[in-house]
Structure 1
Amino acid sequence: MKNNTARYFCILCLCISINLSFAQQKAVPVFKDGEAQIVKAFNDPEHWIRHDLWVETEFDTDGDGKLDRMHVDVTRPDQTETEGLKLPIVYESSPYYAGVASDVPGLFWNVNHELGEPAAERVHPEVIRVGKRPVISNSQVKKWVPRGYIVVHSSSPGTGLSQGSPTVGGDNESLAPKAVIDWLNGRAKGYTTPDGTETVSAFWSTGKVGMTGTSYNGTIPLAAATTGVDGLEAIIPVAPNTSYYHYYRSNGLVRSPSGYLGEDIDVLYDFIHSGDESKRAYSNKTIRDTEMKNGMDRETGDYNAFWAGRDYLNDMKPMKAALLMSHGFNDWNVMPEHSYRIYKAAKDKGLPVQMYYHQNGHGGPPPMTMMNRWFTHYLHGVDNGVEQDAKAWIVRENDSPNEPTSYADYPNPDAKPVSLHITAGGQKAGELTLSKPTTTTQETLVDDASFSGDSLANLAESNHRLLYVTPTLTKDLHVSGLATLHIKLASNKPAANLSVWLVALPWNADINAPITDNIITRGWADPQNYKSIETSEALKPGQFYNLTFDLQPDDQIIKKGQQIGLMIFSSDNNFTLLPKAGTELTIDLNGTLLELPIVGGENQFKAAIH
């Protein structure tokens, strides 16, 4: 009897011990197949702690003599408060969280004027700020908090409840997220109010931060990374604007982003300026009406110190964060060159890099599994082999965005430039051929912006464009990389637009199909900048100039049964300034050459046209 009692007591103690062990077990991140998994204990919004604060920066850009503070919100599992759990951070910053200006008449610059002439002053709207504390944004929260991350947002300078001035790519837009990351690592001060002295610490942070976002929200992670701030381990920019010159100019030409004809950097400034109404007058005078007005130069479109200061390629030296980028080959808003140039520079620096390209337009993040693996490795420290994955992932035509094809790199390492010459007949359709013309030939087009690019490509004959086509392809042809145009031309006026489309013909006749189905890539240039994008000079009517520039990067499989067409015209009514019709551009065919990057090179091209 005594033995049974003792045995029962021991079993009871063991059960109590086991139950206590389970009761005391703490919630922690869980990983499977190299990815952070949704944890039940983190997946209940009722048990998330949400609060906001202001982080002090190292700059004063609103003229009040005090260091600007950035408004920050935090969403974290309550285990970070009750169980001492520390987690890494997914951080997104934006100028858009507190609302933007209305699209009022006159917001954009008038584009209907002669090249080189100033346009009439435009309208400056006021932004009505929206939003309620403590939540700045809900983006990223449902995706990452259940997987064992803390999500942080901040409004960029001069927007929402963040102090300072928006500068659209100025240094403060890099230093602002740096300050937040410094605070997450205990190196900067956070306060409970914008002007008070009560401090807030990020005691729940491991100090490891990853940033992501799309468009402007994708630019800011890169801006932060170029500061070299400790703790920013990885970034995933989606369709980021990496150079405001390349956003609003092309090879010396004033060019708008698609869908926003007449937008320029000062328009974007007005669009996002949702900060303190009492500070706006100072910011408008200092940034918009002085720095931007004197630097943006809509008359020449030249690259200058103002634009160089808003080109993140110039600031890459301190960067050390791992980089996963995403972009669409048919993004005519923030064009694909933006990610290509940064990806290449980061790769050349020896940083961990991956590139995800898809065939659609603006936006489109990488598949969740790619993002998850990236952050799991670089923020949680899980050895999942992501750094050994393929460098390039491309969504092939008609494939699901979640099923990209892997390649060793981008451009495709097997792509080689194939030199294609043009032969006479461009008002109808000349040839795009491997054979160089044997006779000197010139052809002329007449500018008329009332014709859209797609209508010109559809016309059987037109004197408003020159079109040169390959033979009909008998096999699929894979184009990958940068097409380069070498063109010799003359103008009958001192200034002219130059627009170039590379198209797949015949044109898709389905009125419901997007125009991008037929556009392989595009490019624009100012012939006045034939020497460099920094220097322009008036053209001497009738004199020929040699100009070389790249079209937008692409990776596309042109199907058999199609022809590749090079279309040269002047004003592009979706992108350029629109002068009166009548400017004549004369092309010297012998001095014009298209270098097309083809996987398999010239032999593959020959096989595809026979």
Structure 2
Amino acid sequence: MKKRAASLALVLSMILSFTCQAGAVDANSGDDGQQVSTYAALEASAQSGGLTKLGAVKYILLDCGMKTTQFPSGDSDYIAMAKSVGIADDKFDGSAACSLEELNTMANSTEAVNLRNAVKNGTPLFVDGVAQPIFPYTSGVPTEDGYSNDNSDIIRYSVYVETNYDTDGDGKLDLVKALVQLPRAAAEGKYKAAAIYDARPYITGCTDNGDDRKFTYKKDDLGYDLNSLYAQPNARQAEGEAGTMEAAAKAKADEWYYVSPYESGSWGDFYDYEDLDWYDYFLVRGYAVVEVGGLGTRGSEGLETCGADVETDAFKCVVEWLAKDSTRTA
């Protein structure tokens, strides 16, 4: 069934460019606790025997464009990252003195050049077939000042995908809500992000047994004709188009972070954020994540019929949207 509605692009054009040369000149970090203003100063420290391999690795990683916030556990994170991208080997001893030759070898290695270019260009980095955690992260949990994609390294927003059936009988094809998360670089069109798609009931929250839709699952309530699940009114008509960043500009945290009526009580409010942080491992490695609860779940229209053919068909409609069927979203 052909749909007519507005499109929201999840993935945009890929830009791959590996032209930046090695050779640091900007100040970032120095020897353990020592600030180094230029690469020349770092070389001097190495010549005098005052530079450790850990200090050299810290400088190189930060000079490649990574942020200190990407190393929350400190030294162990720097070492793990250096090994992961191939700047350091498994025998790396951070406390050992770093000679000038070793410093130049690490700083000008192919691995350092590739890291610097990937961070600069905002494109994923794969080493031995493994995606590297080079993208910075910002939580989707709002601070005291709220949440804004303007200040987030991970862009989050919702789309509403038109399905093939009107299961709640309101005369319109049901829309299902999809929560999208992706690195800012992907949202800005610097590369095409591979999407991890998680489709299952409850992932975006639950409703109150359909009471707000004027039908229930209560005992002896036979007022709903199950044949109505398959009603197919005309599709919506498109009123315009919007891009990823336009959708992100309108996003609010209460789309995914809200007080749960089932887990709150006299002890206070309990906030659900669905499975917002389940895929952080992949987000910092350049993947996009799309989570869909399906028909009748929080934020979606329709009747929740777990495992029914109409539910699985609705999940399929989101796959079609991801596959660039621009007529699927509203």
TM-score relative to the length of structure 2: 0.40
Greater RCO, CA 8 A, separation 6+: 2
**Considering only CA atoms, is the larger Rg found in Structure 1 or Structure 2?**
1
Higher strand share: 1
